[in-house]
Amino acid sequence: MEVDCQNKSRDENRKDIVVILVGAPGSGKSTFCEDVMRTAHRPWVRICQDTIANGKAGTKSQCLKSAADALRNGKSVFIDRCNLEREQRSDFVKLGGPQVDVHAVVLDLPAKLCISRSVKRSGHEGNLQGGKAAAVVNRMLQKKELPKLGEGFSRITFCQNEGDVQNVVNTYSALGPSDTLPSGCFGQKNPDAKIQLGIMKFLKKVDAPDTVGPDVQTCVSKQDTSEKLPSQKETENVKLSSCKASEVTEGGDFPRKASDVPTLAFPSISTSDFQFNHEKASDIIVEKVKGFLDEVGNVRLVLVDLSHGSKILSLVRNKAAQKNIDSNKFFTVVGDITRLYTGAGLRCNVIANAANWRLKPGGGGVNAAIFSAAGPDLEIATKDRAGSISPGSAVVVPLPSTSPLYKREGVTHVIHVLGPNMNPQRPNCLGNDYIKGCKILSEAYSSLFEGFASIVRNQTKTVVSDKKFRSTSSELHENLLERSLTDHYNIDQKVKRGGNYGSESNKKCKGLREEPLVHMMSELDEKAILSVSTDTMEKEGLEHDKVGGNKVWGTWAQALYHIAMHPEKHKNDLIEISDDVVVLNDLYPKAQKHLLVLARLDGLDRLADVQKEHLSLLRTMHSVGIKWAKKFLSDDASLIFRLGYHSAPSMRQLHLHVISQDFNSIHLKNKKHWNSFNTAFFRDSVDVIEEIDEHGKATLNDERMLSMELRCHRCRSAHPNIPRLKSHISNCQANFPITLLQNDRLVIAPNGAVNEA
């Protein structure tokens, strides 16, 4: 056979090399390979999982097969995938043998650099780019296990900066076909620090082997006595002033102790600025805490308040004691929620923020303090997850490792929560409706705790998937582990795709769902709360986007918003810019002429947001739309225009469609396209203006309109599919239905006449 002949004929002294690249997205793996191969003196093959399947992302086994094939053909191989965890590398290490050396090149560049590169780059093969990249890179780096010779590498080279990388590029590109490189570890400046992280993470969850040493304790059975925890019988607050800060490493990873129990610190929601009755709030807190702790084992909840004489803390403390809630698992702390570790030695990996609905920094109290302590990282990461939040819901935001709150306090996640408002000075006041208020506050805590559970679940998965170890706890815990094992195998693929976690687009994603956006809308069924089944997750996602309710916009849906906010950056795409509106051609016109008149007012996402105060803006948009329609009509008098809004647009930022009624466009492809312009889902601008003027709000029609049968907009005949409909409308000259002919809903040429049906 050809392959055998090649093997026999090759130089006996020659060794092929498998170089396993290890590095986060953005660390420069592909560039490294390309740089070496550009000037290489031996044949290299780069095996990239992002492109292995005919230019698309493939599987690990495809990579393994290609690598083996290349080696059989006398080529040396670069394995260009992240390979950050030992297990992800192990199968590739096995490619080594008497004729094949296996090297690792570790691109251990600063996380910040990897993230900024990932965020900035465009056209990445694995499609990991843009805002989502930061969260993904950050998450991956947290699981990093640096390679060791013991894994089977003959040589490992560590690069910690660009200079290191260039040196290694030079080393490999200079290698002739028969050259070999010395074995050993090279370039590692801090040999043990990060390797231990993986081990520590593992020990965190399981009984430590005796050989590990006396300072490692298990968190499952024992509390770390070095932390200032109240004992079973104590009911006093932990006071920050009496505690000293524990050791914190400089600039590096937060020191993880084997005793770290997943801990959520949270402020009392709605009792401060939103003036929720303390007695009622404390009942809800205690009830929700008890429910959560009964379900989920091995976690801690900490209620935090800055003021010493806090009424809510004492109420909660007393009620918790009455209900026999384990004070090791739930206690109260007086102090700054952003300084629990440095101020009290209390490590809380998750903190809750009493957020505002816009999820923006500022205001006062806890929200201002957390955004300020976390730095701009939190704002960016939050934006990445959601643009706003509704009362009763929560948004989980992984905190980038670059955030001071992460580095200093060990906070890995912030969960934004919005409670009900009873303060008439603040927006959306519920008056004195405590039936509604209690329901929403209850939902807020459910959302918060479910968000926390999702984080714990994800951490559990890391441990389980790494070590194939299963511990036992509550039944819930057991179920989570079960899912973790099956989900684990999807991780690479999912991460490569850019993990649009928590966004609307993920709502139907089964299986892996890390730290989901937790949305418990007021419409939601109570039974969904605290259940962690996949079904429930899906339900949350599906239900949080009702017309008129709050909405989370996917990244792809933000394009118009960005244009409206920064028209100067999109000058080439715009045909008119004014203070109030911008006008552009629809990128995918559904007719010969299809414009969008875009409102520039921030916060006006869609028709549901429009109120009486926006009436003049609506009229401006309408007149700008009419102006453009007339301009087109002067060129082609046969056109007919209709101006209107989608009841529930896909794209954020209020936009008026100005669309010619020929619907002659290759972009009109499906039922949704047609029905979005030809059912009551399309709200004529004239009607919207009238409704806002008279009632202060516009009628919004259901998305079910979009799946209605296909009917010609002129003669109203029904058609079985889009091609047949399009064929029909290209010829139909019937008069328009009378409803469209009234009230100037159709815009026609001055001399044109459109007859009634």
Catalytic residues, which ones? 655
Nearest Cα to 350, choosing from 442, 414, 258, 267? 414
Closer by beta carbon to DNA, 414 or else 596 = 596
Task: List the alpha helices (DSSP H) in 468-572.
Answer: 475-488, 491-496, 534-543, 559-565
Please state the closest distance from residue 34 (CB atom) to DNA, in A: 23
Distance CA 734, CA 716 (A): 9
Q: Phi/psi zone of residue 147: left (φ > 0), alpha (ψ -120 to 50 degrees), beta?
A: beta
Please state the closest distance from residue 240 (CB atom) to DNA, in A: 43
CA 353 from chain center: how many Å? Answer: 18
Establish if 651 lies at the interface with DNA (CB under 7 A).
Answer: yes
For residue 290, the surrounding DSSP H or E stretch is helix 278-295
Q: Roughly what angle, to the nearest 10 degrees, separates helices 131-142 and 111-120? A: 150
Please state the closest distance from residue 496 (CB atom) to DNA, in A: 8
Q: Which stretch binds DNA (CB under 7 A): 204-212, 358-366, 550-558, 734-742?
A: 550-558
Size of the site for DNA (CB under 7 A): 30
Amino acid at 626: I
Distance CA 681, CA 612 (A): 21
β-pairing, 76-80 with 16-22?
Answer: parallel
Among 120, 695, 716, 724, indicate the residue that binds DNA (CB under 7 A): 724
Please state the closest distance from residue 645 (CB atom) to DNA, in A: 10
- Contact letters (x/-) for DNA, 664-693, by CB under 7 A? ---x-xxx-x--x-----------------
Locate 192 and state its tokens. Answer: 């043990």
Please state the closest distance from residue 129 (CB atom) to DNA, in A: 9
Residues 6+ apart with CB under 8 A from 34: 46
Distance CA 526, CA 603 (A): 30
Binding to DNA (CB under 7 A): which residues in 299-318? Answer: none
Binding to DNA (CB under 7 A): which residues in 507-546? Answer: 508-510
Closer by beta carbon to DNA, 39 or else 707 = 707
Q: How far is CA 406 from CA 311, 341, 352, 402, 413, in A?
A: 30, 11, 14, 7, 8
- Contact letters (x/-) for DNA, 340-369, by CB under 7 A? ------------------------------
Please state the closest distance from residue 510 (CB atom) to DNA, in A: 7
Binding to DNA (CB under 7 A): which residues in 462-501? Answer: 494, 497-498, 500
Please state the closest distance from residue 495 (CB atom) to DNA, in A: 10
Closer by beta carbon to DNA, 494 or else 683 = 494
Among 114, 557, 583, 639, indicate the residue that binds DNA (CB under 7 A): 557
Distance CA 673, CA 705 (A): 11
For residue 439, the surrounding DSSP H or E stretch is helix 434-467
Closer by beta carbon to DNA, 509 or else 740 = 509
Binding to DNA (CB under 7 A): which residues in 566-625? Answer: 587-588
Among 190, 222, 548, 556, indicate the residue that binds DNA (CB under 7 A): 556
- Contact letters (x/-) for DNA, 121-160, by CB under 7 A? ------x---------------------------------
Question: How many Cβ atoms from other residues are within 10 Å of residue 37's Cβ?
Answer: 17
Q: Which stretch binds DNA (CB under 7 A): 257-265, 373-381, 415-423, 662-670?
A: 662-670
Q: Phi/psi zone of residue 560: left (φ > 0), alpha (ψ -120 to 50 degrees), beta?
A: alpha
Please state the closest distance from residue 456 (CB atom) to DNA, in A: 24
Question: How many Cβ atoms from other residues are within 10 Å of residue 186's Cβ?
Answer: 18
Closer by beta carbon to DNA, 180 or else 558 = 558
Among 246, 275, 505, 701, indicate the residue that binds DNA (CB under 7 A): 505
Q: Which stretch binds DNA (CB under 7 A): 169-177, 243-251, 335-343, 552-560?
A: 552-560
Distance CA 158, CA 189 (A): 8
Closer by beta carbon to DNA, 335 or else 499 = 499
- The one-character DSSP state at 555 is G
Q: Which stretch binds DNA (CB under 7 A): 1-9, 243-251, 446-454, 506-514?
A: 506-514
Closer by beta carbon to DNA, 22 or else 509 = 509
Residues 6+ apart with CB under 8 A from 89: 20, 22, 83, 104, 147, 151
Among 90, 707, 739, 743, indicate the residue that binds DNA (CB under 7 A): 707
Closer by beta carbon to DNA, 143 or else 652 = 652
Closer by beta carbon to DNA, 414 or else 651 = 651
Count the alpha carbons within 13 Å of 533 in the hemisphere toward its beta carbon: 7
Distance CA 710, CA 723 (A): 11
Binding to DNA (CB under 7 A): which residues in 197-256? Answer: none
Binding to DNA (CB under 7 A): which residues in 69-128? Answer: 127
Please state the closest distance from residue 538 (CB atom) to DNA, in A: 9
- Contact letters (x/-) for DNA, 621-650, by CB under 7 A? -------------------------x--xx
Q: Which stretch binds DNA (CB under 7 A): 280-288, 315-323, 576-584, 715-723?
A: 715-723
Q: Which stretch binds DNA (CB under 7 A): 182-190, 570-578, 722-730, 737-745?
A: 722-730
Please state the closest distance from residue 717 (CB atom) to DNA, in A: 15
Q: For residues 308 and 280, is the Cβ–Cβ distance under 8 A?
A: no
β-pairing, 581-585 with 594-599?
Answer: antiparallel
Nearest Cα to 27, choosing from 108, 147, 148, 119? 108
Establish if 562 lies at the interface with DNA (CB under 7 A).
Answer: no
Which DSSP string corresponds to 30-68?
A: HHHHHHHHHS-SS-EEEEETTTTBTTB---HHHHHHHHH
Please state the closest distance from residue 401 (CB atom) to DNA, in A: 24
Closer by beta carbon to DNA, 268 or else 685 = 685
DSSP-based three-state secondary structure for 350? strand
Nearest Cα to 503, choosing from 562, 555, 560? 555
Closer by beta carbon to DNA, 658 or else 749 = 658
Q: Where along the sequence are the contacts to DNA (CB under 7 A)? A: 127, 494, 497-498, 500, 505, 508-510, 554, 556-557, 587-588, 646, 649-651, 667, 669-671, 673, 676, 707, 720-724
